[in-house]
Structures are given as C-alpha cells and as structure tokens.
C-alpha cells in the first residue's frame, strides 16, 4: 500500500498524454483518473492560450479535454488560489482537483485559514517549482539575449540551470545565473522562494531526481494523495517504480541548493532595500506612483476578506492615494505574505510591492521566533497527520 512519504517514478500508460506531457504525464493522468472515477467533479488547471507566454486557467469537467492542459508553461505566472474563492465558491459544493505550484498551495492555505475555501473538497497535485518567468520579461529576454523573435518560439523549458527555447531551426539555451545577473530569468519573488517541493499538497510532482528515463517523480504527501496513486496504479493507468537511490540523493541535493540560492537572493534583495527609515523612504517614494486600481488587494490570498472600500485611501478619485492605504495593506498582510508575487506582477505602475511585502513578512516571521534555516514561507497549519483533509 502506498502511504504518505513514499516516492515513485511514475509513467502514464496513455501514449498520447505522455507525448504531450512535461515529464511522465503523471499529473494529467491522475487528474483525468480522478475525474473519470468521480473522485472529483472538475479539474482546475492551466492551459496554453494564444502562445507560450499566455497561460490561462481552465475548469474541465470532461475527461477527454485533459490532454489540452499537459505540459509546463514556465511563463505562466498566474495564481490559481484566488480563483477558488472568487469564482468557485471556495469549492464548497464542488470537489475539485487542481495542479498547483507551491505558491498556489500556500495561497489555498491562507484562504482556508480565513474560511474562504473548503480544503476537504480540493485534491491538490503539487508541482515542484524552480520559478516562473514573467511573460513580458521572457519576450524581452528572448529578443535581447537569444537574438530570437519571441513569436518564433514553439516551446520553452528550464532545465539544469538553463533557460532553453525551441524554434523551427533548433534549440538554444543560456545559463539562468547569467540571465539573472542581468535581471532577466525568473521573477524576483520566485528567486527568493523556498517552496520548491510543495509537500503541503496531496502529491508533490516534478522532474528532479529522475534518471535516464522520462518519468514524473511523485512524492505522496497525504493519505488522500497516496490513495489516488494507489487507485490509479490498480486501475492500470499509470506504472510506478521505486526511484534510484542516486535519484533520491540528487533530488535532495537540488532542493537544498535551491534553498541556499533563495536565501542568497533574500539577502541580496533585502540588503539592497535596506531597513528602518531608508527602507520606508523607498517604499513611500515607489508607492507614490500608485493609481489606486486595487489589483494588489484583489490578487492577494491574504486579503480575500478585504474590499477596496475597507481602505481609507484619501479623497475619492484622487491619485496617488494617501500612504495610509499602503501602510494598512502591509499591516493586514503582515506575516501572512506567501511571496506569490501577484501584487508586483499585476501592478500597472511596476511598484515592487512583493519585495516590500516579503521583506516585512520575513522580518516579522523572524521576530515571532522562526529558526534560522527553517522554511519561512510555510503557512502555519496543523501537522500533516492532523489536517482534516487528509482524513
């Protein structure tokens, strides 16, 4: 029997799904299986839209449509969590399976803490995530650094520290470290993120640790996830094998080195921002561009209970709003910031909201007694065995 903590290489039996998928098609196959067998009523996932820079959310009720969501979109920066509360009634009356990055999972826990989603009704297939690249930045980076027309790119991927693009002519790659040294590459919040293997999900799925074959590395993280794997294996839609011990070792090494890299980005970004009065001056200067569109409020999973009208932002219609608007926003998010980056990614005035919010949150988390080296991005939830959705 499969149990939480077990790890497998997983391959889908369906050849069509395997050919479309990023790794072994475990994610698409398990989502399809959950839908076909009535474990869930619908699947929420991300689908390629007009091009590789256009990642769209999609709700699927017909298992035949699952193949449309296979593959990874590294320029897909959207957060799925708020869609549950804004459009799906918090999964109150609908059982939903979803493929979720670490920030999507953390966002769901923030919503659950506020009573805005019913976790019992959500089956979380977590995706390991080294980070995503903003669509606009990706286009600029491909044109400037690769000297390639961004519209000619058929596929992109991030592998072994390289950003790789595929066109009709061939494959081209550049080192992520070098790109990031020039402020290209992953979003700055992703560089600081330590949630690389989302173990608060029911399953954590990725590529790290897979050796010599195309498969998905799957870690069962809850009873619910273990049961899904077990049933899919018994039904013959996936085949599993035990990971090579070298593979396990490599996965652990990569995860640790990604944590160290994230820590060094935190140090770098927070040091450049400074502290005390000089940090506050920068925050006041930068937020003075605010046009009061409230996107940062609408997008934030920690502000799901807050309406724009709850803020006193100075005289109606006048911009910029009083700084009190931002100060109150920071106070309300406080240590709950999951560093998903949405407040920065979606800001039409390019205010580095996420950097400010994350630096305040990490400082508060440290004040509240988190230990050095502990994952500061972890939401404060009950231990795995006590979580009600695992029962």
Q: Which residues pair with 46 in a beta bridge?
A: 57
* Count of other CB atoms within 10 angstroms of residue 212: 8
Q: What are phi and psi of 166, to 5 degrees?
A: -120, 125
Contact by Cβ (8 Å): 216, 206: yes
Binding characters for ligand FAD, 296-325, by CB under 6 A (x = yes): ------------------------------
22 lies in the site for ligand FAD, by CB under 6 A: yes
Q: What does the DSSP assignment read for 230-252?
A: HHHHHTTSEEEEPPPHHHHHHHH
Please work out the total of residues on this chain that contact ligand FAD, with binding judged by CB under 6 A. 30
Q: Helix, strand, or coil here: 174?
A: strand
> Binder to ligand FAD among 4, 11, 72, 107 (CB under 6 A)?
72
261 lies in the site for ligand FAD, by CB under 6 A: no
81 lies in the site for ligand FAD, by CB under 6 A: no
262 lies in the site for ligand FAD, by CB under 6 A: no
28 lies in the site for ligand FAD, by CB under 6 A: yes
206 lies in the site for ligand FAD, by CB under 6 A: yes
73 lies in the site for ligand FAD, by CB under 6 A: yes
> Binder to ligand FAD among 34, 35, 52, 55 (CB under 6 A)?
55
Q: Print burial letters for 10-45: b (CB count within 10 Å at least 16), e (below 16).
A: bbbebeebbebbbbbbbbbbbbbbbbeeebbbbbbb
26 lies in the site for ligand FAD, by CB under 6 A: yes
What is the nearest approach in angstroms of ligand FAD to the Cβ of residue 163? 11
Rounded Cα gap, residues 140 and 146, in angstroms: 10
118 lies in the site for ligand FAD, by CB under 6 A: no
Q: What are phi and psi of 321, to 5 degrees?
A: -70, 165
135 lies in the site for ligand FAD, by CB under 6 A: no
25 lies in the site for ligand FAD, by CB under 6 A: yes
Rounded Cα gap, residues 124 and 140, in angstroms: 33
Contact by Cβ (8 Å): 107, 78: no
Comparing CB distances to ligand FAD, the nearer of 79 and 290 is 79
> Binder to ligand FAD among 172, 208, 323, 330 (CB under 6 A)?
208
Comparing CB distances to ligand FAD, the nearer of 44 and 362 is 44
> Binder to ligand FAD among 7, 11, 23, 163 (CB under 6 A)?
23
Question: Number of C-alpha atoms within 13 angstroms, CB side, residue 23?
Answer: 21
CB burial of residue 263 (10 Å; 0-12, 13-18, 19+): middle
Please give the residue ranges that form the binding site for ligand FAD (CB under 6 A): 21-28, 45-46, 55, 69-74, 76, 99, 101, 127-130, 132, 205-208, 216
């Amino acid at each position: 029997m499969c149990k939480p903590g077990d790890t497998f290489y997983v391959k889908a039996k369906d050849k069509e799904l395997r050919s479309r998928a990023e790794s072994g098609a475990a994610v698409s196959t398990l989502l399809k299986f959950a839908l076909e067998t009535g474990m869930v009523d619908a699947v929420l996932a991300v689908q390629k839209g007009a091009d590789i820079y256009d990642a769209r959310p999609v709700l699927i009720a017909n298992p035949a449509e699952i193949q449309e969501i296979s593959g990874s979109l590294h320029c897909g920066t959207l957060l799925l969590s708020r869609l549950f509360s804004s459009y799906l009634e918090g999964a109150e009356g609908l059982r939903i399976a979803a493929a979720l990055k670490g920030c999507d999972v953390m966002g769901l826990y923030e919503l659950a803490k506020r009573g805005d989603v019913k976790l019992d009704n959500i089956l979380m297939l977590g995706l390991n995530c080294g980070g995503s690249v903003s669509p606009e930045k990706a286009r600029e980076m491909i044109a400037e650094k690769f000297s390639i027309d961004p519209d000619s790119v058929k596929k992109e991927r991030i592998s072994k520290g390289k950003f790789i693009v595929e066109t009709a002519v061939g494959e081209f790659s550049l080192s992520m470290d070098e790109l990031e040294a020039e402020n290209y590459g992953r979003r700055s919040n992703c560089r600081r993120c330590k949630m690389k293997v989302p173990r608060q999900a029911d399953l954590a799925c990725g590529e790290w640790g897979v050796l010599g074959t195309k498969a998905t590395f799957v870690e069962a993280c809850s009873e619910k996830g273990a049961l899904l794997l077990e049933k899919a294996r018994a039904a013959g839609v996936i085949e599993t094998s035990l990971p090579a011990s070298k593979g396990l070792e490599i996965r652990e090494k990569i995860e640790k080195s990604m944590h160290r890299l994230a820590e060094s980005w935190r140090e770098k970004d927070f040091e450049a921002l400074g502290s005390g009065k000089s940090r506050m001056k920068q925050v006041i200067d930068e937020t003075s561009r605010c046009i009061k569109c409230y996107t940062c409020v609408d997008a934030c999973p920690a502000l799901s209970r807050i309406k724009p009208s709850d803020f006193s932002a100075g005289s109606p219609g006048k911009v910029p709003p009083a700084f009190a608007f931002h100060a109150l926003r920071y106070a309300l998010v406080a240590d709950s910031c999951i560093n998903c980056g949405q407040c920065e990614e979606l800001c039409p005035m390019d205010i580095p909201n996420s950097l400010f919010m994350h630096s305040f949150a990490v400082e508060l988390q440290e004040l509240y007694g988190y230990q050095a080296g502990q994952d500061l991005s972890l939401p404060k939830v009950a231990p795995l065995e006590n979580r009600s959705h695992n029962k």
